[in-house]
Structure 1
Amino acid sequence: MIGLAAGMEMADMAWEVKCREEDMKQRALENERHAIDDARRAVDEKAQQLQVVANQGALFAGFSMVVLVESSIPEALNGALLAVFGSAVATTIALFLVSTLNSTYILVAILRYDCVRRDVPFSEFWNKRCEPDWKIALRCFSYGVPSFLLVVSLVAWVTFWEAESGFVSASVVTTISMAVTLFWFGRTDRKWRGFLLMPEARVLTRGMSNTNVRRNGGGKISVPSPTDSSDYSETSIKVEDLKIVTEWE
């Protein structure tokens, strides 16, 4: 009886060890799945941002090109005004074109990122390879908006140059464009450009809701550090062991 009891106890211990090993392996698989999902989510968020900037930049550049091509230039137009008009249109097209091309190239680059193997973390890949070009694209777009409004003002002077009440009409258009430009620099650009140019960590910290803030033992409010979350990189599971679909749905 003693031998039978000892055998049953050994069998129970072996079963517990086996269950624990399977549980650890399952947890490693779950961690890897979460890591892949997080990487895909980060890529998708950046892709949406880049698509917005690229599409809007292409739209503004197209409008500026149409203004340059379709504008009817009066024969008696002042040469200096014509030169300023051409320079403003060319500058506007160049700014939005740089913004669009930078965003497009970055978009293609992040879509090629391997979310499964993740040889380099996506945050590191973005900060080292994409962040500088993203800032250039955003700055070019920001400067392109007032440049486009300048084109709107100049095209009014060019179009109404020979009209009887052309001075009044062009002055009204110029006044409205100047008002929008002042609003752009004083409100929209001032509020959002600096925020969008911040490093991702600072953006997440400043935008964190109160529900993510916890109190420590001394009563002080502290923000959870990134190390508090699960570190997916420490799992020993291999990607080949996953039984999940790795393609984009």
Structure 2
Amino acid sequence: MIGLAAGMDMADMAWEVRCREEDMKQRALDNERNAIDDARRSVDEKAEQLKVLANQSTLFAGFSMVVLVESNIRTDVNGILLSFFGGATACVIALMLVSSLNATYMLVAILRYDCVNRDVPFDEFWRKRCEPDWKLALRAFSYGVPLFMVVVSLVAWVTFWGNGAYYTASSIVTVISLGVTIFWFSGIERKWSGFLLSPRARILTRGLSQDGAPNSGVCSGGNEVKK
């Protein structure tokens, strides 16, 4: 009886060891799957951001090219005004092309990232290879938007040149463009530029407030803005 009990104890121990080994193997497989899924989610997230930036930059560059080519410019327009118009339009096209091409090349690069083997972690890959180009593309887009509004203002002056309501129509367009530019710098660009350029930017979710509503904050450049 003693020998039988000892044999059963050894069998139980062997079964527990086997179960533990299988459980560790399963956990290792689950961790590997989770790591692959995390890498793919990171790639998809960055890919969507780059697609949006590239598409918007291309739209602005196309609009500026249309303005430059299709504008009904009179032959007696002031030469200095015409030079400012052409230069501003060319700068918008150049900035938006820099933004679009950078975003496109980065998109191709991250889509080639091996999410299975992960020889280099994706965060490190993005930080070392893509982060400077991402900041350059985003800054080029941020500078190109207000410059595009300058083009809109100038095209009114060169188009309405010599007409009866020349000063009135051109001034109205200029005032609207100036208002949009001020709103861009004081509102949109000021709020989101630092957040989007920060490599640590993330959404922080806090606990519920006293009234039961979720209390969240946005981390921008390491600074938390609570709501």
Question: Do they fold alike, i.e. is TM over 0.5?
Answer: yes
Residue of structure 1 in register with 2:186 after alignment: 186
What's the TM-score once normalised by structure 1's chain length?
0.82
Which residue of the partner structure matches residue 85 of structure 1? 85
Equivalent position amino acid for 1:129 in 2: R
Q: Distance in 2 between matches of 1:78 and 1:154?
A: 12
In structure 2, the partner of 1:27 is 27
User: Any residues of structure 2 matched to 1:131-170 within 5 Å, and which?
Assistant: 131-170=131-170
Please provide the CA RMSD for this pair: 1.1
Unaligned runs of 5+ in 2: 209-227
Q: Which amino acid in structure 2 is aligned with residue 3 of structure 1?
A: G
Which residue does 2:42 correspond to in 1?
42
- 1:151-184 Cα offsets, whole Å, 9 max, x none, are 0001101110021111110010001000110111
Which of the two has greater strand per residue? 2
Match of 1:66 in 2: 66
> Given residue 3 of structure 2, which amino acid in structure 1 is its aligned partner?
G
Distance in 2, Cα, partners of 1:192 & 1:9: 65
Deviation for aligned residue 1:4: 1.6
Residue of structure 2 in register with 1:108 after alignment: 108
Aligned to 1:119: 119
Amino acid at match of 1:16: E
SS for the counterpart of 1:140 is: helix
Match of 2:204 in 1: 208
Once the two structures are superposed, residues 74-107 of structure 1 have per-residue CA deviations (whole angstroms, 9 ceiling, x without a partner) of 1111111111110000000000010000111111
Percentage identity across aligned positions? 70
State the Cα deviation string for residues 48-83 of structure 1 (Å, max 9, x = none).
111111000000000000011101221111111111
Partner SS state of residue 189, structure 2: helix
Q: How far apart in 2 are the matches of 1:178 and 1:208?
A: 35
TM-score when normalising by structure 2: 0.89
2:189 alignment partner AA:
D
Structure 1, residues 91-126: CA drift from partner, whole Å, max 9, x if none?
A: 000000100001111111111111111000000000
Letter in 2 for 1:167: Y
Distance in 2 (CA, whole Å) between partners of 1:208 and 1:158 is 49
Residue identity matched to 1:177? S
Structure 1 equivalent of residue 130 of structure 2: 130
Number of residue pairs aligned between Structure 1 and Structure 2: 208
Report the AA paired with residue 100 of structure 1: S
TM superposition shift of 1:27: 0.4
CA distance in 2, matches of 1:127, 1:118: 15
- Structure with more contact order per residue of length (Cα contacts < 8 Å, sep ≥ 6): 1
Q: State the shift of 1:46 in Å.
A: 0.7
Offset at 1:211? Answer: 4.1
Q: Which amino acid in the other structure matches residue 164 of structure 1?
A: G
3-state secondary structure, aligned to 2:163: coil
Separation in structure 1 between the aligned mates of residue 58 and residue 110 of structure 2, nearest angstrom: 20
Residue 196 of structure 1 aligns to a residue whose secondary structure is: helix
1:208 counterpart SS class: strand
The structural deviation recorded for 1:208 is: 1.6
Residue-by-residue CA offset, 1:205-247 (whole Å, 9 max, x unaligned): xx321249xxxxxxxxxxxxxxxxxxxxxxxxxxxxxxxxxxx
User: Which aligned runs of 4 or more in structure 1 are off by greater than 2 angstroms?
Assistant: none
